[in-house]
Structure 1
């Protein structure tokens, strides 16, 4: 009985998932969708950021998740039911973050991250604190 209940819960969770995976590209940046850069401040300073992106760390410099603080900042930027994109360095962190947030937000996970964008020739703008 427990296995059936767990399978049912897992199925319902997947049905509620609002995550779209899209390869990070310069073409995507032309869409009118807010982008949240979840990298660390050190990464933003090192490579720069996407012009117009919002910078909100999900994991701190030690790799610890700061979900409550992230959600509080995100909710000031994103309206209820608004689709938005998240990006990190390679897409690994955003894949994990999307799984954590998928039931509450309509997320586009930019796979390949900033590394992919820069390989395509995108020039980030300097990060300003």
Structure 2
């Protein structure tokens, strides 16, 4: 490789690093502040069984990413997410049980798809509940919840 080619490759790598979107971890107080100060879209990616067990964050949307076997249909999920977003730049906050799955999905959105304004509750709904925050109660009648 000549110097010109090496320079172009380095410049391309450097510029992609500068513009790369990042997943941003949120603590419970940070999420509370975000909910008060922005139109963030809160997406609970857990399973229906998990929603029933703990309830969900108020004003969050249930949009399961992984099924019980750990499989997913990213294309279908992204289409549903797009329907929920009010604008392409609307902040999206992902929530799961402990922060692991929301971290994986958030990194997928930010790093692989280049989506900006992607956040996740770093310790999941567990941290929300431990902080004594309110949740929308689990629905005892599944038919009425859908």
The TM-score, its normalising length taken from structure 1, stands at: 0.83
Shift of 1:105: 4.0
Unaligned 5+ residue runs, structure 1? none
Query: Aligned pairs, how many?
Result: 127
Does the CA-based 8 Å contact 1:38-1:57 persist in structure 2?
Answer: yes
In structure 1, what is the Cα distance between the partners aligned to 2:133 and 2:17? 36
One of 57, 70, 73 as aligned partner of 2:80: 73
Other-structure match for 1:35 = 42
Other-structure match for 1:22 = 26
Flag the 1:88–1:14 CA change in 2: closer, same or farther, 3 A.
farther
In structure 1, what is the Cα distance between the partners aligned to 2:104 and 2:137? 26
Would you identify which runs of 4 or more consecutive aligned residues in structure 1 move more than 3 Å? Answer: 8-11, 28-32
Other-structure match for 1:88 = 96
Deviations 1:57-100 (A, max 9, x none): 11111111221111010000112111121111111111111111
One of 102, 115, 122 as aligned partner of 1:104: 115
Question: Is 1:118 the equivalent of 2:129?
Answer: yes
Does the CA-based 8 Å contact 2:28-2:131 persist in structure 1?
Answer: no
The TM-score, its normalising length taken from structure 2, stands at: 0.74
Unaligned 5+ residue runs, structure 2? 139-144
In structure 2, what is the Cα distance between the partners aligned to 1:23 and 1:95? 13
- The answer to which structure has the higher helix fraction is 2
In structure 2, what is the Cα distance between the partners aligned to 1:10 and 1:66? 32
